[in-house]
Protein backbone atom coordinates (compact mmCIF):
# COMPACT_ATOMS: atom_id res chain seq x y z
CA UNK A 1 0.00 0.00 0.00
CA UNK A 2 2.79 2.37 0.81
CA UNK A 3 4.17 1.83 -2.69
CA UNK A 4 0.95 3.14 -4.30
CA UNK A 5 0.92 6.22 -2.08
CA UNK A 6 4.57 6.96 -2.93
CA UNK A 7 3.77 6.54 -6.65
CA UNK A 8 0.75 8.93 -6.41
CA UNK A 9 2.78 11.57 -4.55
CA UNK A 10 5.48 11.42 -7.18
CA UNK A 11 3.15 11.90 -10.26
CA UNK A 12 1.46 15.26 -9.73
CA UNK A 13 1.76 16.43 -13.36
CA UNK A 14 -0.79 15.96 -16.17
CA UNK A 15 -0.10 13.36 -18.80
CA UNK A 16 0.23 14.32 -22.45
CA UNK A 17 -3.06 12.58 -23.26
CA UNK A 18 -4.93 14.60 -20.63
CA UNK A 19 -3.51 17.86 -22.00
CA UNK A 20 -4.45 16.95 -25.57
CA UNK A 21 -8.02 16.13 -24.52
CA UNK A 22 -8.35 19.48 -22.71
CA UNK A 23 -6.97 21.36 -25.73
CA UNK A 24 -9.44 19.61 -28.05
CA UNK A 25 -12.37 20.45 -25.77
CA UNK A 26 -11.30 24.11 -25.50
CA UNK A 27 -10.91 24.26 -29.29
CA UNK A 28 -14.41 22.90 -29.88
CA UNK A 29 -15.89 25.42 -27.43
CA UNK A 30 -13.97 28.25 -29.11
CA UNK A 31 -15.26 27.30 -32.57
CA UNK A 32 -18.85 27.14 -31.31
CA UNK A 33 -18.49 30.50 -29.59
CA UNK A 34 -16.95 32.14 -32.66
CA UNK A 35 -19.75 30.83 -34.88
CA UNK A 36 -22.40 32.25 -32.56
CA UNK A 37 -20.51 35.55 -32.37
CA UNK A 38 -20.35 35.95 -36.15
CA UNK A 39 -24.05 35.03 -36.45
CA UNK A 40 -24.91 37.74 -33.92
CA UNK A 41 -22.78 40.30 -35.79
CA UNK A 42 -24.55 39.52 -39.05
CA UNK A 43 -27.95 39.79 -37.34
CA UNK A 44 -27.02 43.21 -35.98
CA UNK A 45 -25.89 44.37 -39.42
CA UNK A 46 -29.13 43.13 -40.98
CA UNK A 47 -30.99 44.97 -38.21
CA UNK A 48 -29.38 48.21 -39.33
CA UNK A 49 -30.62 47.62 -42.88
CA UNK A 50 -34.11 46.76 -41.66
CA UNK A 51 -34.26 50.00 -39.68
CA UNK A 52 -33.09 52.01 -42.69
CA UNK A 53 -35.64 50.30 -44.95
CA UNK A 54 -38.30 51.10 -42.36
CA UNK A 55 -37.37 54.79 -42.56
CA UNK A 56 -37.45 54.59 -46.37
CA UNK A 57 -40.88 52.95 -46.13
CA UNK A 58 -42.20 55.85 -44.07
CA UNK A 59 -40.86 58.29 -46.67
CA UNK A 60 -42.66 56.29 -49.39
CA UNK A 61 -45.93 56.50 -47.47
CA UNK A 62 -45.49 60.27 -47.00
CA UNK A 63 -44.69 60.66 -50.70
CA UNK A 64 -47.78 58.68 -51.66
CA UNK A 65 -50.02 60.75 -49.39
CA UNK A 66 -48.60 63.98 -50.80
CA UNK A 67 -48.52 63.02 -54.51
CA UNK A 68 -51.14 60.28 -54.83
CA UNK A 69 -48.70 58.02 -56.71
CA UNK A 70 -45.39 56.22 -56.23
CA UNK A 71 -44.59 55.96 -59.96
CA UNK A 72 -42.18 58.92 -59.69
CA UNK A 73 -40.66 57.92 -56.32
CA UNK A 74 -36.85 58.09 -56.61
CA UNK A 75 -33.76 57.23 -54.55
CA UNK A 76 -33.57 60.88 -53.45
CA UNK A 77 -37.16 60.76 -52.20
CA UNK A 78 -36.21 57.67 -50.17
CA UNK A 79 -33.28 59.46 -48.51
CA UNK A 80 -30.66 57.68 -50.60
CA UNK A 81 -27.69 59.54 -52.01
CA UNK A 82 -26.00 62.79 -51.04
CA UNK A 83 -25.98 63.10 -47.26
CA UNK A 84 -28.26 60.08 -46.86
CA UNK A 85 -27.98 56.33 -47.17
CA UNK A 86 -25.25 55.04 -49.51
CA UNK A 87 -26.00 54.14 -53.12
CA UNK A 88 -22.83 52.04 -53.27
CA UNK A 89 -20.86 50.17 -50.63
CA UNK A 90 -18.90 52.56 -48.46
CA UNK A 91 -17.13 52.61 -45.14
CA UNK A 92 -19.48 52.76 -42.21
CA UNK A 93 -22.26 50.83 -43.97
CA UNK A 94 -22.67 47.12 -44.56
CA UNK A 95 -25.50 47.56 -47.10
CA UNK A 96 -26.16 49.69 -50.14
CA UNK A 97 -29.66 51.02 -50.69
CA UNK A 98 -31.78 51.67 -53.75
CA UNK A 99 -35.35 51.76 -54.96
CA UNK A 100 -36.59 49.07 -57.31
CA UNK A 101 -39.52 49.13 -59.69
CA UNK A 102 -42.29 51.55 -58.82
CA UNK A 103 -45.85 51.89 -60.03
CA UNK A 104 -48.74 54.15 -59.10
CA UNK A 105 -49.51 52.16 -55.96
CA UNK A 106 -46.28 50.35 -55.06
CA UNK A 107 -42.51 50.71 -54.78
CA UNK A 108 -39.72 48.28 -53.94
CA UNK A 109 -37.12 49.41 -51.43
CA UNK A 110 -33.94 47.35 -51.41
CA UNK A 111 -30.82 46.86 -49.29
CA UNK A 112 -28.05 44.65 -50.68
CA UNK A 113 -25.34 43.31 -48.38
CA UNK A 114 -21.88 44.60 -49.31
CA UNK A 115 -19.22 41.99 -49.91
CA UNK A 116 -16.14 44.13 -50.49
CA UNK A 117 -13.85 46.33 -48.45
CA UNK A 118 -13.43 43.87 -45.60
CA UNK A 119 -17.20 43.52 -45.18
CA UNK A 120 -17.57 39.97 -46.38
CA UNK A 121 -20.70 38.50 -44.82
CA UNK A 122 -20.48 35.27 -42.87
CA UNK A 123 -23.30 33.83 -44.98
CA UNK A 124 -24.65 34.22 -48.49
CA UNK A 125 -24.81 37.81 -49.73
CA UNK A 126 -28.48 38.67 -49.62
CA UNK A 127 -31.01 41.36 -50.48
CA UNK A 128 -33.63 42.67 -48.09
CA UNK A 129 -36.65 43.94 -49.99
CA UNK A 130 -39.73 45.80 -48.81
CA UNK A 131 -42.63 45.98 -51.27
CA UNK A 132 -44.62 49.00 -50.08
CA UNK A 133 -48.27 49.36 -51.10
CA UNK A 134 -49.70 52.37 -49.24
CA UNK A 135 -53.12 52.22 -50.92
CA UNK A 136 -53.86 48.89 -49.24
CA UNK A 137 -51.76 49.58 -46.14
CA UNK A 138 -49.69 46.45 -46.76
CA UNK A 139 -45.93 46.00 -46.89
CA UNK A 140 -44.50 42.62 -47.89
CA UNK A 141 -40.95 41.78 -46.91
CA UNK A 142 -38.65 39.52 -48.90
CA UNK A 143 -35.18 38.12 -48.52
CA UNK A 144 -33.15 36.28 -51.13
CA UNK A 145 -29.57 35.54 -52.13
CA UNK A 146 -28.07 37.91 -54.67
CA UNK A 147 -27.73 34.98 -57.08
CA UNK A 148 -31.35 35.78 -57.92
CA UNK A 149 -32.98 32.42 -57.44
CA UNK A 150 -34.85 31.00 -54.52
CA UNK A 151 -36.16 34.17 -52.90
CA UNK A 152 -37.67 33.71 -49.52
CA UNK A 153 -40.99 35.50 -48.96
CA UNK A 154 -43.40 37.18 -48.84
CA UNK A 155 -43.57 37.85 -45.13
CA UNK A 156 -45.62 40.16 -42.97
CA UNK A 157 -42.51 40.85 -40.89
CA UNK A 158 -38.79 40.63 -41.56
CA UNK A 159 -37.49 37.16 -42.39
CA UNK A 160 -34.20 35.75 -41.17
CA UNK A 161 -31.84 35.88 -44.11
CA UNK A 162 -28.82 34.07 -42.76
* Banded model confidence at residue 63, pLDDT cuts 50, 70, 90: very high
pLDDT score of 150: 41
Number of other CB atoms surrounding residue 125 within 10 Å: 14
pTM of the model: 0.67
Mean pLDDT of 66-80: 91
Phi and psi at residue 5, to the nearest 5°: -65, -40
- Can the peptide bond before residue 142 be classed as cis, meaning omega within 30 degrees of 0? no
- Radius of gyration for the chain, computed over Cα atoms and rounded to the nearest angstrom: 26
Q: Pairing between strand 106-113 and 152-155?
A: unpaired
Mean pLDDT of 46-75: 88
Mean pLDDT of 124-135: 74
125 closest CA partner among 53, 49, 32: 49
Amino acid sequence: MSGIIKHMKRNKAFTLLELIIVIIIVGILAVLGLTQYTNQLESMRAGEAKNNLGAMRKLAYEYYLKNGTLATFTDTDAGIGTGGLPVSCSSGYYFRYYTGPAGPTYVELKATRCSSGGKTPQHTVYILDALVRPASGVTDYYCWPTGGSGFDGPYTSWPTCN
